[in-house]
Structure 1
Amino acid sequence: MGSSFTHLHVHTEYSMLDGAARLDELVSKARSDGQQALGITDHGNMYGVIEFYKECVKQGIKPILGTEAYMAHDHRSERIARRGRLDDNGGSDEGGHKQYYHLTLLAENNQGYSNLIQLSSLAFLEGYHYKPRVDWELLEKYSSGLIATTGCLGGHVLQSLLNGDEKGAIAKASRLQDIFGKDNLFVELQDHGITNQRTTNPKLVEIARAIGAPIIATNDSHYVNQSDHMAHDALLCVQTGALMRDQDRFRFEGNEHYLKTAAEMRSVWKDLPEACDNTLLIAERAQVDITFDEYQIPDFPIPADYKTPADYLSFLTWKGAQQRWGDNLPSAVVERLAFELKTISDMGFDAYFLIVWDLIRHARESNIRVGPGRGSAAGCAVAYCLRITDLDPLKYDLLFERFLNPSRISMPDIDMDFDSRYRDHMIQYAAEKYGRDHVAQIITFATIKARNAVRDAARVLGHEYGVGDRIAKLMPALQQGRDTPLAACFEFDDEHAAGYREAQGLRDLVLSDEIAAKVVEVARGLEGLKRSDGIHAAAVVITGKPLTEYLPIQRKGADAPIVTQYEMHAVESLGLLKMDFLGLRNLDVIADAVAMIREQTDPDFDIDVIDLADIETFELLGRGDTIGVFQLESPPMQSLLRLMKPTAFEDVCAVIALYRPGPMSTKMHTTYAKIKNNIEEPEYFHEDAREVLHDTYGLMVYQESMMRVAQKFAGYSLAQADNLRKACGKKDPKAMAAEEGSFVDGCEKTGYGRPLGEKLFDIIRGFADYAFNKSHAYGYGLIAYQTAYLKAHFPVEYSACLLSSVKGNYEKAAVHLADARSIGITVSNPDINEGRSDFAAITADGQKRIVFALSGVRNVGEGIVLQILEERDRNGPYDSFHDFARRAPEQALNKRAVESLIKAGAFDSFGHPRRGLLMVFESIIDSAVVSRREEEKGVMSLFGEMEDASVTGWSAEVAIPDMQFAKPDQLRHEKEMLGLYISDHPLRGVEHALRRLVSSSIQELESREAGMATIGGVMSGLNRRFTKKGDQMATFVLEDMDAAVEVTVFAKVLAEYGHLLSDDLVVTVTGRLNKRDDSPPSFSAQRISVPENLGDRVPEVELSLPAGFTADKLERLKAIIAEFPGTSPCKVKLVGGKVFDLGASGLVDFEKAMGPLRVTFGSNAVKII
């Protein structure tokens, strides 16, 4: 067998934070060394098996599939407490035994692969305790088709030898041999220069001879090249939180745990060549064939009256068509449905549609709100008839071929949006329908991104946080949420050209600073490696047979969900039915708002039949008043809406398609807006293009626009046009060349000529980078329009439901609270009589307002609130705090919860001062509870008939002192309990003066580029602490009227300004805005000031009015000024910059007038200066 070798003990990056070998590099090295096969044996899982299999096939070597299983000491059901550190060799339990042992398992054939799946799955489902563990019982049951080895130093056999128990080692090896068979148990030898291996290897050879087992040599490979040793060591430190300089940390001995060449392995084992030869014998024996892309759609149970799924689907479709279009179906509808049904049936996807239909049906019948459709499925008329989607594809020219191409069979992809509170319910329904062992959520893997790699590297090298942070800040800005790879920061490539140019400062630092150079070197070794596994936010797999007949699954703990071990793309490649169950919070808000409107305003209100040409909705959109409106609430989107001034539903959809980096980089969004508003004329490359591009003003905004152009000019079928779309999206030069030839030929055949065909193909090639899926834009456009409609017509109800949806997120709640107040909505403190569990819209004296959610008060759980409300609903409102104490269920009188309610102002309506009530509430509760218990015992009845009897301590009410907190203290308590200032704000009255001192509001930081800025607000949460070097630093939260941000004050700045810092102080901070990955913005202070005399200046109102504003708007302005007279001057600014001071007749109370002014003229039209 000469000089070759096959590695059979190989850890990849899927041995997370332990393996540092990237799959493509691993396979490439084996192939370049001439190795004909390669194994994969990740720790306790099969995560990387499919990706590894495909990579090996791609590179022309044989994949050998396996795992390094964990074995329980005795039985997998053991849950023995750990003693000491859990290390790579299994740690110890309280009995001195290892928590787990290692065992290498390899699949010899497809039966073995199936058993590998069973073992890996059951290790999680039945044996998970720190690690997924199998046991002797499972090995005996699922041994067929598997090759086992005795494993590494952590294996049963070697642990016995290390403990001096040679008889035990032989017994363990013999037991394994009995289970797997004489030819299928190999004694594994390793030599990484480790003393324990060199002392035990001769004994392993003796054991092999004693039991007649073959030997194999392996290298416990954890990284690809020997030079990767440091990166791997750093990865171990990331896993354990240690520093590389720590002496007692977990580490590998030596630097030999890499994928050695065959020559290196032969050299190490030159005295035992058969140990290497046997690896080749195993490689010859191992042959697993995995079938891809053969669809495995589960059967759908159909009624007995129907012969096939196609028959039942056809029945449901035509029935639904009559409900959608009436009894006399238009011929276009009949033709479209017949074509779609035939295509679906020919492709074998009838059952798929029935499965989706049934899920959506169940949701609707369970009163769970469902989205109108996302992705290309909105182009399917069959889906519209089945109520899977809610957009008429014929009306909006949404194309079926974009969803399901008759010339290219691929699994349909219908993503389902549900009210997020019921997503788990929907998965549960699927599990009950198809079997709990047939449904699982799908795993996802987090990787170490470039910026995080830099920060991780700096930390494990022992540097202060600022070192890594400084290097990370020199990296290029995120591109569509993604880092520029570190390699591309130092070596130019076309794909990351912009990032390379931005990284000049990083390159300069690395050249001049040895510490930075070392950090980047280690970071490059970490970047891209898998960090952890998680659960995909949407993806679910449904199988016809039990899951483990197709793939391995896992569950980390008895109450955790079942999850696949293969990620989404691997699941799809196996032909399994992957569906996206998405929880969309905006659907929660819509559902709650509709329920509230029906309860309080209009019992017949139906959001699904609203007018899609509503003027008030378009006015709101045109003003950019879209905070809380789905997809349209960012400041740049608001600017685009003001520019666009939508007047049709189609405009809303176009905004969603245009607000993306591609179209915006070419100014397509502004071109569209100018043409729409008759500022520019549309340009058509040919007059006939007007026929297919008139609705987008000559621009190919949508992929469907491109398809229609190809159909019109090149004579393509829509299926061919979709193939063109896909080729353009992939940018495959070979495919594009073929498509260009076909397209130009088509233009010649249709009479438009080759020159126009060539010109048009170049246009299409350019637009392909930017064109958006029209069906998706329209599906999400409908949700956007519905939320805008609710905000325009039912602002109080909608704002209340928005606030409820984010009540645990104080930052988002602050934004929605500020927005509600900006349009004149009053938000009041929680109230024990008016409040509900969630935010409530209350009408009193003809005025609507929002009452803060009782369950939004800190320390007050949902259960307590429900008990309080049940008593209130049953026996009427509470009369006083004493009445509350007497009546509320005893479990609801939790003193911590009641204290929080008092601080939040929930009892203010009784006239009780908060400070006074806090002084005596415990006594009142204690007295009420004692009285209640005695009444229950019947003690009171003993005296009930005695007219002169008096009972001390029961009838007398504890007086509540008339003492109130100072306003700052009261507001601080509110902020502590509610996360927000409600009854007032420390900045009230000075916010506009403060705004003149800053360059950005805190809310504006979200859309601002990283860099220098000045912000202002009130401080809270001040925390001073010491760094590892002994320097003091501080952090605090800075909050203005609309938002908050965390501010960091490093040692040098703190030394200068530390004496100024205290909670509740109003300050301005100049410093650097930091943006990391997808994290919220943070701020590093460089200068801190305490502004003086903020309240002395009278603010002015500046109202910006567009050209041609109507007379009725002017009359409305006069009416508002007359209704809210005050001392603030009002100025009107017209287009062109001309400003009119309204003088004494224009003096207004700006606080009261702000809401009506913003409702009338738009939030951004009104400024306080």
Structure 2
Amino acid sequence: MGRENLVIKRDISYIYKAMRDFVHLHVHTEYSLLDGVSQIVDSKGNPGDLILAAQANGMKALAITDHGNMFGVPEFYQTCHKSNLKPILGSEFYLAMGPDATDTKAPYARKNHHLTVLSRNDTGFRNLTKLSSYSYGKGFYYRPRIDKAILEKHSEGLVVMSGCLQGEQASYIRNDRFDDALASAKKMKELFGDNFYIELMDNGMPEQKAVMKDLIELARRLNIKTVATNDVHYSLKNDAAVQDIALAIGTRSTLDDPKRLKLSTQEFYLKSGDEMFEVFREVPEALNTTLEIAEKCNVTIDFDQLRLPAYDPPKGFDSFTYLKSLCEKGIPVRYGKKTKAVSDRMAMELDVIKNMGFSSYFLIVWDFINYARTQGIAVGPGRGSGAGSIVAYLLQITDIDPLEYDLLFERFLNPGRISMPDLDIDFEEARRLEVVDYVKEKYGEDSVGQIITYSKMLAKGAIRDVGRVMGIELTECDALTKLIPQGEDIKTAMDTSGDIKKLIAAKPKLKELLLNASRIEGRKRHFGVHAAGVVITPGEISDFVPLARAKNGLITQYDGDYLTRMGLLKVDFLGLKTLTVIQEAVEDVYRNKKIKIDLKELPRNDRKTFQMLSRARTVGIFQVESEGMRDVLRKMKPTLFTDLSAVLALYRPGPMNSGMVDEFIERKNGMRAYEYQHPLLKDILEETYGVILYQEQVMLIARALAGFSLAKADVLRKAMGKKIMSVLEAQKEDFMKGCAVNKIPDKIAADIFDTLVHFAEYGFNKSHSTAYALISYQTAYLKANFPLEFMTALLNSVIGDEKKLSPYLAECERLGIEVKPADINASDVYFSARGDNAIIFGLLAVKNTGEKACEDLVAERKKNGKFKDFNDFLSRAVAITSFNKRMAEFLVKSGACWGLSRDSEGIVNSLDMMMTSAESVNRDRLSGQASLFAEQPAVVELKGEVTETQKLKYEKEALGFYFTGHPLTRYEKYFRYFRTSTLAGLDKSGMSEHILTGIVKEIKNRKTKKGKDMFVIKLEDLTGVVELVGYKDRLPPEMPEIKEDMIIAVKGSMVETASGKRFTGEKFYSAKEAFRKIPKKLKIYMSTAGLDEKYIESVIKELKKYPGNTQVAFVLHTKKRGKWRWATGIGVTVDAKFLNSLEDKFGEDCWKIES
């Protein structure tokens, strides 16, 4: 009896302690991608549900142990500290079953145990980082894995727990191998001592209960402490369904699949200490162990320390003095002579750079940009706030003079706002990686790496993903996604969209889909690689951050934001095709016209350039070729370089929706008067016509009126832009005081402050806008003054992309530039300028060719002369390794061999035999067997000429578009009289019912749910493409089915559906029948001059040769009566032959059809 009471007393003491304190040490967040769903931070940057749940449960500490990674560690660490939670940093590793994780041949290679590892101190955290990097590097085999040897090597400073049911000891016990479990636990204890714990879990799974007794016994025998965990995968109990859906998405299964991987209970949430006591009532000491471990784990991540690689300056310099000397050398290059303004600005910036410890940073960036320039790699003029630095300008990192354009260094580097500088650099896309390779060579492969990015489940993707796992048809999911406005979350759309409310009221399953999708929306889905970001570290990257595996190598596990927060150097090596266009155009101008263009010396007031911009002739012009941009240009009519910068700043959702764009344009064009609220504003706002357009203007106003330093003004600018009210209130008080010193009345000062707050919301970074305006201006200048060379470079920038090539070819036609088709005897690999006003297609623009094969083909022609005929071409081409039959076929179809033979169809039909023969002869030649009597290549007589229809069909197949003509061209003249709109004009027509004409380019036959035959076609005319839906029972007898390349007319209407607008066809006509059936009336316009009864009789006789249902009326024109109409009562059949006969009699514009 006494013994029992003693046990009870002991239990009670633990109960009270457990109820007060418990720490979750096995926690999966959303970074256990599509397995855990707990959020550390929500979509607005506030503490997420995981942190809030821990706080609600009164917890003082919390661990992160995501599956096989450390992705969420920095976010977790910072958020926990801000939320008064002690962060415990760890990972649930995959432990290879064999002794060597790199042995992928072993029979157990794909099988792994789970192991929970926590970092006890800073050394442990470094070892955790090394282990994680190893798992994704040498240890990776289907999963990131470690082995016991690497674990032993990096064991210092770690706490290790035995893991879940997949842990080594639990796995042995489940397979009745208790002795193996005992032996493996003993080895772990020998390695980690009191820092190894046996992990106990009870989420209500029978398997867990089955192993717990033996795990406790194992721990007792080896004197190892047990620790209670809950394998947390979601924060709240009712989030179990969200996790279940995420897991189904990740495993590509459906919720109704009985064999799918799933958590079998709903107990994997962040339980309170009380709830954990209820579960572990019989082993309360395991709860107390969590406190012991939490006390042991103390890791500090220093986010305030700079970790820049050292730049090695020449002898006699340190990094700062060398930086200063480079700036001094840059003054005569940039300014001619040293002025006080230049000297003062440079001294100020250098002082800030030195004090903030960024001298090496600037030298590193200067060094690789200098390398790029010396190698002839095009470099952009700058981007972002870095263009506001005179130091960057003197070093030729940027090409924008900050003094000329009032750009502010403090917007880039602010001593009062400690953060890493961010000099993003644009390089020509094709050679960007050469610069990255240079950096790798200079600082070491292990010190330069790409950066991870994480994609989230956005609204539309979440609906599709959740719909799939719920077994809902994709068409229904797509219908829902089209009702979600861009950028809006699902919950908001459900609350505000009448269409959605109607749809989900009719279909409860879709309501369930939206509710599920809204709960998973915003969660991390998968990781990828930043397109341009590179980190450069002062040692191996894995000394600072863990690495993960991507398709092309290892990348950092932390994203760019956290890398910079940790003081590491991140540089974006951005690829910009436009720089290649500019460089190639400049080179072509010199090659063709011997005119040397210095982009840095371009006049920024070129009349032709601004005329072109004002007319919005901006196809191919950087940043301003969209229809919306062209509309702004057309209205604004820019006349200054600063106007172009303003256009880029204005064309954003904020200014567009606020009426700011119209106000700016009206002020610029003198249509709206404006006044400055105070005379001091004039110098700052004059270039933007009194509108506060740029963030820098907010800062300059605060300095001019209130005496703010630019550093302090930058804090104000940021607070205004982000509406940080706590900062704004204090800043307003300082602003008012400063204005009072300058004798500005309180009322005016307050009004100006309110104006700043209003405009700051839409304010844009002037440094970035000015830098990108320079690229826009350079492209516009080249197009306006050297259109041939510019368009050649532009076409080459999109070679192989038929959708982009087509409008650029149309622009060449508008500019009066002749574009010649590909010619095997004249074309180069790429488009090339010919003469004063022509461009010839490059061979690479033909589908199924390759750059190497095209290069070899051109080299063969240049070396051994032009190809005499097709047989000569083929016999020489087959000797080229990269040449093949497919390439030959598409060169023929493209028209590139037109000069050798016009019998394209004959060649295509005989190509197999011709290629076989030519290859055989080439093999004999190579083997030395050729002789006088050796086999000669088969000669096929090519005397025919391909039909125009077949020629165009081939051309479309080989190029992706019609080039020398269009099948619709001969019909266009007639179609335009009875169709109601071109396809491009459908949205602008304002009508719902239409008659459309075009050629069928794609057809998909489907069945409705009721079994009705339907089809979806892509109808194309000379202006665009539209998707059209029709039903087979609406097709006329003479056209029982629709096929590709048919030319048709369709009568139908635009219908608003859940999936958006689509055209539904009600009546379909072949081209021939369209003329006969659609027209209801035909008007023939004729003059009465020379008209007599005999002539009219002859006309009526001619009309009667074409009997039909279209009623004919003459519209006669006389000097006395003007126009008058005469209904003949005659019905005719309208077709091309009939209309041609009318035009022969009365002229081309003599008729008009009414439907």
CA contact (8 A) 2:901 2:942 kept: no
In structure 1, the partner of 2:171 is 159
Seen in structure 2, the aligned counterparts of structure 1 residues 1027 and 167 have a Cα distance that, compared at 3 Å, is: farther
Classify 1:75/1:915 alpha carbon distance in 2 versus 1 (closer, same or farther; 3 Å): farther
2:216 maps to 205
Shift of 1:638: 0.5
What does residue 859 of structure 2 align with? Answer: 870
In the alignment, which of 511, 516, 520 is matched to residue 510 of structure 2?
A: 516
One-letter identity of the residue aligned with 2:313: I
SS at match of 2:437: helix
Structure 1 position 469 matched with structure 2 position 463: no
- Aligned residue for 1:1022, secondary structure, equals strand
The residue number in structure 1 matching 2:489 is 485
Task: Using the TM superposition, give the Cα deviation of residue 646 of structure 1 relative to its aligned residue in structure 2, in angstroms.
Answer: 1.4
SS in 2 for 1:437: helix
**Where do residues 912-1061 of structure 1 align in structure 2 (5 Å cutoff)?**
912-940=902-930, 943=932, 951=933, 953-954=935-936, 958-990=939-971, 1017-1025=998-1006, 1034-1041=1015-1022, 1043-1044=1024-1025, 1047=1027, 1049=1029, 1061=1042
Aligned counterparts, 1:605-684, within 5 A: 605-684=597-676
Aligned equivalent of 2:146: 134
Q: Which stretch shifts more, 866-875 or 648-657?
A: 866-875
Q: Which moved more, 1:381-390 or 1:994-1003?
A: 994-1003
Cα offset, 1:373, TM superposition: 0.8
What's the secondary structure of 2:828's corresponding residue?
coil
Does the CA contact (< 8 Å) of 1:368 and 1:418 recur in 2?
yes
Which residue in the other structure is 2:844 paired with? 855
Given candidates 798, 806, 825, the residue that maps to 2:798 is 806
Structure 2 runs not aligned, ≥5 long: 1-16, 41-47, 1084-1155
- 1:9 aligned partner, one-letter code: H
Partner SS for 2:193: coil
Q: Aligned to 1:33, which of 57, 64, 67?
A: 57
- Alignment check: 8 A CA contact 2:467 2:513 kept: yes
Distance of 1:66 and 1:783 partners within structure 2? 47
Instruction: Give, in whole Å, the separation in 1 of the partners of 2:1010 and 2:1056.
Output: 25
Matched ranges for 1:441-452 at <5 A? 441-452=450-461
Aligned-pair CA distance for 1:28? 1.2
Supply the distance in 1 between the matched residues of 2:588 and 2:153 (Cα, whole angstroms). Answer: 58
Residue 316 of structure 1 aligns to which amino acid in structure 2?
Answer: L
Task: Please report how far the alpha carbon of residue 730 of structure 1 lies from its aligned counterpart in structure 2 after TM superposition.
Answer: 2.0
Deviations 1:169-214 (A, max 9, x none): 22222232233x2211111122222222222221222222232221
- Which of residues 146, 149, 152 is equivalent to 2:158? 146
Secondary structure of the 2:715 match is: helix
- Unpaired runs of 5+ residues, structure 1, are 82-92, 491-499, 944-950, 1100-1169
Whole-angstrom CA distance in 2 between matches of 1:585 and 1:1001: 33
Q: Retained in 1: the 8 A contact 2:457–2:525?
A: yes
Report the counterpart of residue 2 of structure 1 in structure 2. Answer: 18
Verify: 1:425 aligned to 2:434, yes or no.
Answer: yes
What is the CA–CA distance in structure 1 between the aligned matches of 2:1036 and 2:209, rounded to whole Å? Answer: 61
Encode CA deviations 1:146-180: one digit per residue, 9 max, x unaligned: 1112211222222222333222222222232233x
Query: Residues 988-1027 of structure 1, C-alpha deviation per residue, up to 9 Å, x if partnerless?
Result: 3555776787888666899999999997643223233568
Select 2:378's aligned residue among 341, 357, 369.
Answer: 369
Find the aligned partners of 2:345 and 2:230 in 1 and give their Cα distance: 62
Kindly state the Cα deviation for residue 223 of structure 1 after the two structures are TM-superposed.
1.2
Q: Distance in 1 between matches of 2:465 and 2:990?
A: 24
Structure 2 partner of 1:495: none
* TM-score, with length taken from structure 2: 0.86
Amino acid at match of 1:346: N
Alpha carbons 1:13, 1:529 under 8 Å: kept: yes
Q: Secondary structure at the match of 2:1003?
A: strand
Partner residue in 1 for 2:190: 178
- CA distances 1:241-272 after superposition (whole Å, capped 9, x unpaired): 22211222222212222222222211111111
**Which residue in the other structure is 1:357 paired with?**
366
TM-score normalised per structure 1:
0.85
Q: Distance in 1 between matches of 2:983 and 2:353?
A: 52
CA gap of 1:1095–1:321, structure 2 versus 1, over 3 A, is farther
Contact 2:64–2:91 under 8 Å retained in 1: yes
How much has 1:378 moved relative to structure 2?
Answer: 1.4
Provide the residue aligned with 2:571 in structure 1. Answer: 579
Q: Label 1:992 to 1:647 Cα distance change in 2 as closer, same or farther (>3 A).
A: farther
Residues 364-373 or 703-712, more deviating: 703-712
Q: Is the Cα contact below 8 Å between 1:825 and 1:850 reproduced in 2?
A: no
Report which stretch shifted further, 576-585 or 1050-1059: 1050-1059
Distance (Å, rounded) in 1 between the aligned partners of 2:283 and 2:623: 67
State the Cα distance separating 1:447 from its structure 2 match: 0.4
Q: How far apart are the structure 2 equivalents of 1:1007 and 1:403?
A: 44
In structure 2, the residue matched to 1:381 is: 390
Give the corresponding residue for 2:809: 817
**Deviation of the 1:786 alpha carbon:** 0.9
Are 1:310 and 1:350, in contact at CA under 8 Å, matched by a contact in 2? yes
Alignment of 1:737-816 (within 5 A): 737-816=729-808
* Residue in structure 1 matching 2:824, options 832, 836, 839: 832
Between 982-991 and 512-521, report the one with greater CA deviation. 982-991
Percent sequence identity is 38
Q: Partner residue of 1:68?
A: 92
Q: Deviations over 1:1041-1085 (max 9, x none)?
A: 35556x374889999999553211345575468999xxxx99575
CA contact (8 A) 2:616 2:630 kept: yes
Deviation, 1:698, is 1.1
Q: How many residues align?
A: 1050
Give me the whole-angstrom Cα distance separating, in 2, the residues matched to 1:75 and 1:1061.
65
**Residues 266-318 of structure 1: CA distance to partner in whole angstroms, max 9, x if unpaired?**
11111111121211211111111111132222211100031x21110111001
Take 1:97 and 1:932, find their aligned partners in 2: how far apart are those partners? 49
User: Is 2:34 the counterpart of 1:17?
Assistant: yes
Distance 1:422 1:692, change over 3 A: same
Distance 1:349 1:213 in 2: 50
Bigger mean CA deviation after superposition, 633-642 or 990-999: 990-999
Structure 2 residue aligned with 1:905: 895
Q: 1:764 to 1:620 in 2, by over 3 A?
A: same
Compared CA separation, residues 1088 and 269, structure 1 to 2 (3 A): farther
SS at match of 1:581: strand
Is the CA contact 2:479–2:1058 (under 8 Å) kept in the aligned structure 1? Answer: no
State the 1:957 CA deviation: 5.9
Alignment partner of 1:45: what SS? coil
Q: How far does the alpha carbon of each residue in 1:209-258 deviate from its partner, in whole angstroms, 9 at most, with x for none?
A: 23222111211211112211222111122112222112222222122222
- Take 1:1095 and 1:626, find their aligned partners in 2: how far apart are those partners? 39
Q: Which has the larger radius of gyration?
A: 2
Q: Which moved more, 1:874-883 or 1:277-286?
A: 874-883
Alignment map for 1:69-88 (pairs within 5 Å)? 69-78=93-102, 80=104
Instruction: Compute the displacement of 1:882 (Å).
Output: 1.9
Classify 1:1015/1:668 alpha carbon distance in 2 versus 1 (closer, same or farther; 3 Å). Answer: farther
Counterpart CA distance in 2 for 1:1009 and 1:63 is 60
Cα drift, residue 710 of structure 1:
2.1
Aligned CA distance change for structure 1 residues 892 and 410 (closer, same or farther; 3 Å): closer
Q: Match of 1:120, as an amino acid?
A: S
Deviation, structure 1 residue 124: 0.7
Q: CA deviation at 1:51?
A: 0.8
Secondary structure (helix, strand or coil) at the match of 2:224 reads coil
Determine if contact 1:1072/1:1086 at 8 Å carries over to the other structure.
Answer: no
Q: Give the secondary-structure state (helix, strand or coil) at the position aligned to 1:787.
A: helix
Offset, 1:873: 2.5
Instruction: Give the distance between the partners of 2:748 and 2:446, measured in 1 at CA.
Output: 58
Q: Is the 8 A contact 2:535 2:571 kept in 1?
A: yes
Match of residue 869 from structure 2: 880
Structure 1 CA distance, aligned partners of 2:231 and 2:354? 51
Letter of the structure 2 residue corresponding to residue 1018 of structure 1: I
Deviation for aligned residue 1:133: 0.9
Give yes or no for the alignment of 1:312 onto 2:339.
no
- Structure 1 residue 46 corresponds to structure 2 residue 58: no
